[in-house]
Amino acid sequence: AEQWFASNCSLDPSVLKSTYEDAWKEGRRSYDARKEHIELARKHHATALARLQEDLAANRISREQYEEKVAALGQFRG
């Protein structure tokens, strides 16, 4: 997106596609390198996330509070 707007919305579509594919591959490599940690954190926080989602749906917490609490869970160092 940055490249698109920096080019005044005139960037060649093939360049956009290549940039997207490179970014996707880098994201995948990053995920794969941390996959075990991510899965461990997901399992560790599954109950807490479910409760937060219930609280949000029942309007017991605001969207902002929900996002803050989810971000705090992201600090997991298991």
pLDDT tens-digit map of 11-56: 898 998 999 999 999 999 999 999 998 888 888 899 999 999 999 9
- Six token digits for residue 26: 């880098």
pLDDT tens-digit map of 45-77: 999 999 999 999 999 999 999 999 998 887 755
- What DSSP line would sit under 9-69, residue for residue? S---HHHHHHHHHHHHHHHHHHHHHHHHHHHHHHHHHHHHHHHHHHHHHTTSS-HHHHHHH
Is the pTM higher than 0.85? The answer reads no
Amino acid at 13: P
Answer positive or negative: Cα dihedral of 49, 71, 25, 12.
positive
